[in-house]
């Protein structure tokens, strides 16, 4: 395979833009992990729920996809809080296996209900913003650029929220040491519920963005959930900002690999990287938590 | 040893399993055989996973990897090297165990959720690798030549043979689980589950014990992988390394109650029964995943020790019969 | 008591990042004695136990047990050689019964007993520490004093030559303390050497043959209980903790 510089640059650019969206999805997973030590196995199902939420809002209500993105995200916040009170709260102190399975049960319910309602046939949101040229043959789709910008914006807002507001600081305090935070008078139950809500917001929001880029069906969530795991480990589990960097790295890899070998090798390399990083640097490339 | 051999639980269990195995043979009922094939397969998967999950306390999402790898190795030696079913089963079992031993040396250093995540990664790596590995047929996988069934008296007979062998493997899984639970080794594993640092200070060589448990848990899945795909006639990556199935086996153990021998058995049988009855009912069919999810959630929230744990707690008198 | 040395700790240091928890400590234990290890909170006593039992590798220094250098051995090998310990924060194996807890201690201890033998040992030890009636209860269900006994029983069942006791008296009421002291004295009569950390001054002074005092990771005094309580450096070390200082002074006057 000969490598064409223009093609390489275009595919790297493409990969990096998607990386922002991957990073956003992973932030949801890693925020929840950091705050309450729960690996949310309903993450993929929630991403898919975001996709279908956006699809419905666009097709049935005729909303603009980015308005749909905002609405779906807000709905995610509420849904997350509800899921927390039903499925997480009671088992928070139980061994890992319990929360793994309770979130997996939530995933089964969402995907089962989704399959009954929407079948597993492929869908897509018909939406086009043309092509934007960066010169030298490096063209990217407008929808990808816009999705990357939106994802970057949400990341910035999340950063400001976590580091500059009182509630955000409380979330970080609980994440660092729940017992100590409680001694300082931080109501940890509400903070945990809110964090699960924000994690769900991020998952569903990223789903709404992905839906504007690629076709999907009700089972697509597991692909993005696994990518979120890889990113979470790259960026450090529990470190939401590291997720953005992890997302960019994963996007970069996905842009790079097809230039050198068959695309089917991409998951092999991604997952091998995932296992290796877990083994040699489980706190992630950028450190976990703060 | 006396305590093991004289246990009423052991003998009742063997008799029940043997009865289940001979039932479709006695009635010459292939439909029943196919149903029971799945149930026995899941019982063995659950019992073997229980060694590392239930006794040792390591959450393994990649148990299916051993099933898939064993299946691939077995089908490969049968289709390409023209070996028979029995040597293929041995290759599958030993191959899966050797793989587990090498892998375990690396990943069993990880604890808690990090180990669980790594096993998901291993599962997905194997899935992606199998799709690219040409000797194993890449994405299309391997297919057995129909002629191979002739060696076993034709396809019809071969299916009965596969079932009988699976039943034997299941009984072995049951006996082995019981022996492990009642052994010094098993006690060591349970100490690791409860507190790994304390285990080390108490003199338990934890790295060795964990790896032996992991290696042991891989052996029978490797064998039934060969049986399952022999019966199937072909193997492809998505079916061999199906993460969902790994998680289903976990759910079965939870349903029955982990860290006991009867828990995984009862859990696997219950789960399969519930699922198949949901699938045949047209009203419930489309909602079977939702119902299974609700059931799982209810168990986790309200009966986290599983059905067997719950019975043992309520009716201490039955403990001798429900180990 | 004979004077044969069983454990020699030679210049051991343990750093955690910038913090030196144990600082060039040397000490020696003689066969059959009870050596008390005291010092204010955070002095590094538990860390020294963790190093001796192989939980942490020391940053520098060596230690020998019964003539063998065990500095770099993993914890389970050290345990097999005959060092058993209890934990300051009790670590019951919650989902196992009391009998199973102690059986496990015997099984994997110095004598590497078979399961059947180990269960016999466990019953005997549970009897010795007064926990035999509770043998079929899950360890999680015990109260704190019982958990402390369980911790001791599990260590004893390993049939160690050297027993490390980390604050086994803390949190016990006076009757329970008296019971526990009696149990410990009986252990000594079985010719098991004991290194014990304790904050309860009157108890440790009564039971120890010798005392070593740590402060900020360093050994600041060593000697008979009488020497130690009259040592101004020791009183000074405890100034931050007036109650203990008073208790020390009271011991000194007797
Ligand atoms: N695992 C550890 N990591 C970091 N610091 C530790 C660790 N264990 C103990 N320390 C620190 O070492 C010092 C000594 O602690 P410790 O040995 O527990 O004291 P003691 O038992 O005498 O009260 C303390 O400052 C403590 O915070
Ligand atoms: Mg201490």
B300 contacts A105 by C-beta, under 8 angstroms: yes
Phi, psi of C215 (to 5 degrees): -150, 130
What does R_g of chain C's alpha carbons equal in angstroms?
18
> The domain C1-82+163-254 is classified under which CATH number: 3.20.20.70, 3.40.50.300, 3.20.20.150, 3.40.50.970?
3.40.50.300
Atom of ligand 1 at shortest range from CA of C41: 23
Nearest neighbour of B191 by CB, restricted to C79, C93, C114: C93
The shortest CB-CB distance from C91 to any of B183, B198, B203 is to B198
Mean pLDDT, rounded, for A2-25: 85
- Quick one: which ligand is closest to C167's CA? 2
Please tell me the predicted confidence (pLDDT) of residue A290: 38
Touching subunits of B (3+ CB pairs, under 8 Å) are A, C
Q: What pLDDT digit, counting tens, does each position of A240-253 carry?
A: 788 999 999 999 99
Q: Tokens 């019953």 belong to which residue? A: C123
The pLDDT, as a whole number, for residue A289 is: 44
For residue C252, what pLDDT is reported? 64
Q: Is residue B178 part of a domain?
A: yes
**Mind telling me how many Å the CA of A226 is from chain B's nearest CA?**
8
- Would you write out chain C's pLDDT as a tens digit for each of its 254 residues? 457 899 999 999 999 988 999 999 999 999 999 999 999 989 999 999 999 999 999 999 999 999 899 999 999 999 999 999 999 999 999 989 999 999 999 999 999 999 999 999 999 999 998 899 999 999 999 999 899 999 999 999 999 999 999 999 988 889 889 989 999 999 999 899 999 999 888 889 889 999 999 999 999 989 998 888 888 888 788 766 777 777 777 776 55
A104 interface with B at CB cutoff 8 Å:
yes
Residue with tokens 């860290």: B259
- Name residue, tokens 């934007």: A132
Kindly state whether B200 is in contact with chain C, defined as any CB-CB distance less than 8 angstroms.
yes
Best-predicted range by mean pLDDT among A177-181, A208-212, B291-295, B300-304? A208-212
Nearest CA-CA distance, residue C110 and chain B, Å: 8
Alpha helices in C56-208 (DSSP H): 75-81, 98-107, 115-129, 144-157, 174-189, 201-207
**CA separation for the pair A49, A43 (Å, rounded):** 10
C-alpha C247 – ligand 2 centre gap (Å) = 19
- pLDDT reported for residue A48: 96
What is the b/e burial string over C144-160, where b = at least 16 CB atoms within 10 angstroms of the residue's CB?
ebbbbbbbbbbbbbbbb
User: If we measure between CA atoms, which residue out of A278, C96, C53, C93 comes closest to residue B108?
Assistant: A278
Query: Are residues B187 and C154, on separate chains, in Cβ contact within 8 Å?
Result: no
CA C29 – ligand 1 centroid, Å: 23
Domains contained in chain B, number: 1
Strand order in the sheet with C193-197: C83-85, C162-166, C193-197, C34-38, C210-215, C218-223
Q: B239-259 burial by CB neighbour count: b if 16+ within 10 A, else e? A: bbbbbebbbbbbbbbbbbbbb
Q: Are A68 and A57 contacting, i.e. CB atoms less than 8 angstroms apart?
A: yes
Q: How far is CA A83 from its chain centroid? A: 17
| Contacts with C213 (C-beta within 8 Å, 6 or more apart), sequence order | C38, C39, C219, C220, C221, C222, C228, C231, C233, C234, C237
Contact between C56 and C216 (Cβ < 8 Å): no
- Cα gap C235→C249, rounded to integer Å: 8
The dihedral over CA atoms of A187, A190, A192, A196, expressed in degrees to the nearest 10, equals -160
Gap between the Cα atoms of B320 and C198, Å rounded? 44
| A106-140: burial string, b at 16+ Cβ within 10 Å, e else | bbbbbbbbbbeeeeeeebebebeeeeeeeeeebeb
Instruction: Record the tokens describing residue C5, joined without a space.
Output: 């040395």
Task: Classify residue B53 by its DSSP letter.
Answer: I
Does B161 fall in a domain? yes
Q: Which chains touch A (3 or more CB pairs under 8 A)?
A: B
Strands (E) across B88-144 are located at: 142-143
Tokens of B206: 């934890």
**Whether the Cβ atoms of residue B297 and residue A108 lie closer than 8 Å to each other:** no
| pLDDT of res. A288 | 53
- Within a domain: B135: yes
- Closest Cβ–Cβ partner in A100, A108, A112 for B116: A100
CB < 8 Å from B in window 143-202 of A: none
Cα(B267)–Cα(B257) distance, integer angstroms: 7
User: Best of C23, C37, C44, C53 to mutate for ligand 1, by most ligand atoms within 8 A of CB?
Assistant: C44
Domain that holds residue B71: 2-242
The residue written with tokens 């699960």 in the block is A196
CA distance C182 to C189: 11
Q: What are phi and psi of C19, to 5 degrees?
A: -90, 130
Q: How far apart are alpha carbons B46 and A171 in whole angstroms?
A: 39
Distance of CA C133 to the CA centre of its chain: 25
Domain map (residue ranges) of chain C: 1-82+163-254, 90-160
Per-residue pLDDT of chain B (323 residues; tens, 9 = 90+): 677 787 888 888 899 999 988 898 888 888 899 999 999 999 999 999 999 999 999 989 999 999 999 999 999 999 999 899 999 999 999 999 999 999 999 999 998 888 988 898 899 899 999 999 999 999 999 998 888 888 888 888 889 999 999 999 999 999 999 999 999 999 999 999 999 999 999 999 999 999 999 999 999 999 999 999 999 999 999 999 998 888 889 888 888 888 889 999 999 998 888 888 877 777 677 777 788 788 889 888 888 777 777 777 777 777 767 77
A62's CB contacts (< 8 A; 6+ apart) are none
DSSP string computed for B255-289: HH-TTSSHHHHHHHHHHHHHHHHHHHSHHHHTTHH
Pick from B53, B76, B69: which is nearest to B148 by CA? B76
Task: Determine phi and psi for C129, rounding to 5 degrees.
Answer: -95, 0
Residue B252 lies in a domain: no
Q: Which two tokens stand for residue A276?
A: 């290796």
Q: How confident is the model at residue A287 (pLDDT cuts 50, 70, 90)?
A: low
Closest-CA residue to B13 (of B181, B262, B193, B212): B262
Task: Judge if the beta carbon of residue C45 lies within 6 A of ligand 1.
Answer: yes
The set of residues, in sequence order, having a beta carbon less than 8 Å from that of B140 and lying 6+ positions away, is B236
Contacts of C76 (CB under 8 A, 6+ apart): B200, B201, B202, B203, B204, B205, B206, C54, C108
| CA distance linking residue A234 with residue A30, whole number of Å | 11
If pLDDT is split at 50, 70 and 90, which confidence band does A136 have?
low
CA-closest residue to ligand 1 atom 4? C16
Q: Which of residues 204-223 of B touch C (CB under 8 A)?
A: 204-206
Q: Give the predicted TM-score (pTM) of the model.
A: 0.89
Residues of chain A in contact with residue B125, where contact means CB-CB under 8 angstroms, are 267-268, 271-272, 274-275
Which subunits have 3 or more CB–CB pairs within 8 Å of chain C?
A: B
At C2 the pLDDT is 54
Ligand 1: centre distance to CA C21 (Å): 6
């Amino acid at each position: 395979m000969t490598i064409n510089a223009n093609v390489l640059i275009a595919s790297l650019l493409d990969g990096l833009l998607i990386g922002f969206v991957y990073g956003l999805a992973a932030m949801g997973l890693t925020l929840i992990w950091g705050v309450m030590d729960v690996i949310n196995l309903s993450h993929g199902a929630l991403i898919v729920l975001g996709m279908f939420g956006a699809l419905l809002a666009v097709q049935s209500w005729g909303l603009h996809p980015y308005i749909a993105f905002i609405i779906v995200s807000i709905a995610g916040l509420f849904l997350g809080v509800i899921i927390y009170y039903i499925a997480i709260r009671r088992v928070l102190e139980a061994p890992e296996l319990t929360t793994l399975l309770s979130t997996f049960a939530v995933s089964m319910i969402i995907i089962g209900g989704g399959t009954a309602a929407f079948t597993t046939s492929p869908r897509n949101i018909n939406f086009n913003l043309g092509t934007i040229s960066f010169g030298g043959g490096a063209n990217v789709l407008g929808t990808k650029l816009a999705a990357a910008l939106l994802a970057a914006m949400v990341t910035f807002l999340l950063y400001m929220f976590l580091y500059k507001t009182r509630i955000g600081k409380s979330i970080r305090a609980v994440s660092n040491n729940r017992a100590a935070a409680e001694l300082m008078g931080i109501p940890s139950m509400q903070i945990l519920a809110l964090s699960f809500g924000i994690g769900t917001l991020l998952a569903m929001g990223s789903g709404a963005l992905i839906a504007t880029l690629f076709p999907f069906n009700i089972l697509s969530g597991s692909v993005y959930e696994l990518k979120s795991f890889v990113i979470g480990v790259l960026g450090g589990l529990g470190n939401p900002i590291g997720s953005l960097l992890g997302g960019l790295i994963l996007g970069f890899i996905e842009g790079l690999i097809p230039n050198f070998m068959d695309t089917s090798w991409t998951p092999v390399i991604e997952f091998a990287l995932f296992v290796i990083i877990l083994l040699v640097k489980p706190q992630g490339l950028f450190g976990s938590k703060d | 040893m006396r305590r093991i051999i004289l246990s009423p639980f052991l003998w009742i269990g063997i008799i029940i399993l043997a009865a289940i195995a001979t039932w479709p043979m006695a009635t010459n009922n292939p439909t029943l055989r196919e149903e029971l094939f799945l149930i026995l397969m899941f019982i063995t998967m659950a019992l073997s996973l229980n060694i590392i999950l239930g006794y040792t306390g390591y959450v393994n999402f990649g148990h299916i990897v051993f099933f898939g790898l064993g299946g691939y190795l077995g089908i490969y030696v049968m289709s390409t090297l023209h070996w028979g079913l029995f040597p293929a089963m041995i290759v599958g079992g030993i191959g899966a165990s050797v793989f587990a031993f090498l892998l375990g040396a690396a990943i069993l250093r990880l604890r808690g959720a990090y180990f669980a995540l790594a096993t998901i990664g291993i599962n997905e790596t194997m899935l992606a690798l199998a799709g690219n590995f040409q000797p194993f047929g890449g994405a299309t996988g391997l297919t057995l030549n129909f002629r191979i069934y002739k060696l076993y008296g034709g396809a019809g007979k071969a299916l009965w043979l596969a079932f009988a062998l699976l039943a034997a493997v299941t009984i072995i899984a049951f006996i082995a689980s019981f022996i492990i639970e009642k052994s010094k080794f098993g006690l060591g594993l349970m100490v690791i589950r409860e507190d790994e640092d304390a285990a080390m200070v108490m003199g338990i060589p934890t790295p060795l014990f964990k790896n032996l448990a992991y290696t042991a848990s891989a052996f029978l899945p490797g064998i039934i992988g060969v049986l399952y795909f022999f019966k199937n006639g072909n193997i492809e990556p998505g079916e061999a390394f199906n993460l969902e199935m790994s998680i289903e086996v976990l759910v079965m153990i939870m349903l029955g109650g982990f860290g006991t021998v009867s828990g995984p058995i009862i859990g696997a049988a219950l789960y399969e029964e519930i699922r198949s009855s949901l699938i045949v009912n047209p009203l419930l069919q489309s909602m079977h995943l939702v119902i299974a999810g609700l059931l799982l959630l209810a168990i986790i929230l309200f009966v986290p020790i599983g059905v067997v744990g719950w019975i043992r707690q309520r009716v201490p008198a039955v403990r001798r019969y429900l180990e | 008591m004979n004077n044969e040395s069983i454990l020699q700790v030679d210049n051991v240091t343990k750093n955690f990042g910038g913090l030196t928890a144990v600082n060039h400590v040397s000490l020696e234990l003689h066969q059959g004695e009870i050596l008390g290890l005291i010092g204010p909170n955070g002095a590094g006593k538990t860390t020294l136990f963790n190093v001796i039992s192989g939980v942490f590798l020391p940053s520098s220094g060596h230690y020998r047990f019964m003539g063998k250098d065990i500095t770099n051995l993993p914890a389970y090998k050290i345990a097999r050689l005959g060092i058993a310990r209890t934990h300051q924060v009790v670590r019951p194996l919650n989902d196992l019964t009391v009998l199973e807890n102690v059986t496990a201690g015997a099984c994997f201890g110095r004598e590497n007993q078979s399961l059947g033998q180990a269960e016999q040992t466990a019953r005997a030890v549970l009897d010795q520490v007064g926990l035999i009636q509770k043998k079929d209860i899950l360890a999680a269900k015990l109260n704190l004093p019982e958990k402390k006994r369980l911790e001791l029983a599990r260590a004893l069942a390993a049939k160690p030559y050297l027993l490390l006791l980390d604050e086994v008296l803390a949190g016990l009421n006076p009757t329970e303390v008296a019971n526990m002291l009696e149990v410990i004295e009986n252990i000594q009569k079985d010719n098991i050497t004991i290194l014990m950390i304790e904050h309860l001054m009157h108890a440790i002074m009564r039971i120890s043959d010798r005392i070593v005092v740590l402060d900020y990771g360093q050994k600041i005094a060593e000697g008979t209980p009488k020497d130690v309580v009259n040592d101004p450096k020791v009183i000074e070390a405890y100034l931050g903790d007036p109650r203990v200082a008073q208790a020390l002074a009271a011991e000194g006057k007797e």
